[in-house]
Amino acid sequence: MQRAAVLLVLAFSTSTFSLDNGLMRTPPMGWLAWERYRCNTDCQNDPENCISEKLFMDMADRLSEDGWKELGYVYVNIDDCWSSMQRDGQGRLQADPKRFPGGIAKLARYVHDRGLKLGIYGDMGTHTCGGYPGTTLDKVQIDAQTFAEWGIDMLKLDGCYSNSTYQEQGYPMMSKALNATSRPIGYSCSWPAYQGGLPPKVNYTMLGEICNLWRNYDDIQDSWDSVLSIVDWFFNNQDELQPAAGPGQWNDPDMLIIGDFGLSMDQSRAQMALWGILAAPLFMSNDLRTISSGARAILQNKVAIAINQDPLGIQGKRLLKEKSGIEVFWRPLYKGASALVFVSRRSDMPYRYKTSLKTLNYTPGVYEVYDVFMERTVSTLKDSTEFVVSINPSGVVMWYLSPASDWQEEADSLRFSEKLIGRKFHRHAKDAHAPLVL
């Protein structure tokens, strides 16, 4: 597309400022406890679902044994409520001894032995959001060193019980302290979420210099309304947010709630697609021990993951917001490919949306169209050819498009091969002079 050249320059220019730890050149992927398990510490009455070493060991087992790790889901991330209410005699954070009897270092070894990485939670303030010990400025160095000695691979640093002045000092200070440990630790900052998420209060150039990813907006809840609220905020402010993202530095719209209780299968596919357009971190918060086959198929969709993990790292944008309730999103990808997403905000019935690639500002030419969730190539499509897509209520159609002349090369370079998706690509030529129903 014509706009891709401008965005490519932008991507390279922003990536040069990213945190100097060499990490997270594509959005990180894994599992995170918070949305599904919150601050459940009642291990006596709910041992399977409380925040404990057993929960994280169980999820590590599932990631390593059920095909998740091979797809890139490698982080097992602890959130709030893991620690004791008091630091130890040396002023160090310590895990709750009843819920984590082996300590965090033992849990890290367990996770690492399975080829995975362990993330942990802290707070740049006097207390965490759940009331546990926070990291005050005088504790930054010792906490960073403690995390490194435990074998931590990622730190999420929240911002409860502090203020803007405190955060302005503390978040950069922790970045330097983590780098000084000589252990590569990915750094997730919640700083912008506490400052409204937008310039001029939020300096995204500075964030890109100190953080690998950052929370911009509200916590996700287990509902379609919550997903839409986050989507609206990110795309309504896309001109300010999109330039901040790139390899090693990511906007984070929060967790994937696919496999929980609040989303239908259509809505689950929509979240997966839109997080792909956003180049978002993919942290599931669900129960991998009991997840349904439908939710698993969405989260393990190899092409959706490949789009999210595109090496250019360019965040996509919303192209159109139609009065009909249909919205169109686009993301440029490696070697001239792209992703298109059609989302229905309707609640009545499937909607037949008519358009063309030319209308969506595609460069003249012929494109191969692969339907991500149908898992098949659906058409060879000329830019001027009108087509119709049928989108379910609160549902999505997600396409991967590549110039037809480069299709085989693109398939190889993005690993869209028989090894990757378990089937060969089949071309289905259509009448270029009539509207296509796809």
- Catalytic residue, chosen from 61, 66, 218, 219, is 219
DSSP run (H or E) holding 297: helix 293-299
Q: Buried b vs exposed e over 84-115: b needs ≥16 C-beta within 10 Å?
A: beebeeeeebbbbeebbeeebebbbebbeebe
Active-site residue (options: 96, 158, 287, 310):
158
CA gap 76, 143 in Å, rounded: 20
Residue (of 380, 381, 379, 369) closest to 416 by Cα position: 369
Stated length of the chain: 438
Q: What count of Cα atoms within 13 Å lies in the side-chain half-sphere of residue 188? A: 30
Rg (CA), the chain: 22
Q: How confident is the model at residue 23 (pLDDT cuts 50, 70, 90)?
A: very high
Q: Is 158 part of the annotated catalytic residue set?
A: yes
CA distance 425 to 23: 33
φ, ψ at 245 (rounded to 5°): -85, 150
State yes or no: pLDDT of 380 exceeds 50.
Answer: yes
**pLDDT given for residue 405 in this prediction:** 77
Q: If you average pLDDT over residues 68-89, what whole number do you get?
A: 98
Q: Is residue 219 flagged as an active site residue?
A: yes
- 8 Å CB contact between 300 and 68: yes
Cβ atoms of residues 187 and 178 within 8 Å: yes
Domain 14-308 fold: TIM Barrel (3.20.20)
Assigned token pair, 78: 């602890």
What pLDDT sits at residue 434? 46
- Pick from 217, 235, 128, 146: nearest CA to 185: 146
pLDDT over threshold 90, residue 228:
yes
Taking the domain 317-437, which CATH number applies?
Answer: 2.60.40.1180
Query: Would you say 188 and 252 are in contact if contact means Cβ atoms under 8 Å apart?
Result: yes
pLDDT in tens, 155-198: 999 999 999 999 999 999 999 999 999 999 999 999 999 999 99
Q: Give the whole-number percent of the chain exceeding pLDDT 70.
A: 88
Backbone angles phi, psi at 27, to 5 degrees: -55, 135
Domain boundaries, the chain: 14-308, 317-437
Asked if pLDDT for residue 362 goes beyond 90, the answer is yes
| C-alpha dihedral sign at 96, 97, 101, 107 | positive
* Predicted TM-score of the model (pTM): 0.90
| Nearest Cα to Cα of residue 424 among 378, 377, 367, 372 | 377
* Collapsed DSSP state (helix, strand, coil) of residue 407: helix
Q: What is the pLDDT of residues 119-146, one digit of tens each?
A: 999 999 999 999 999 999 999 999 999 9
Report, as an integer, the average pLDDT of 230-238.
98
Is the Cβ–Cβ distance between 352 and 373 less than 8 Å? Answer: no
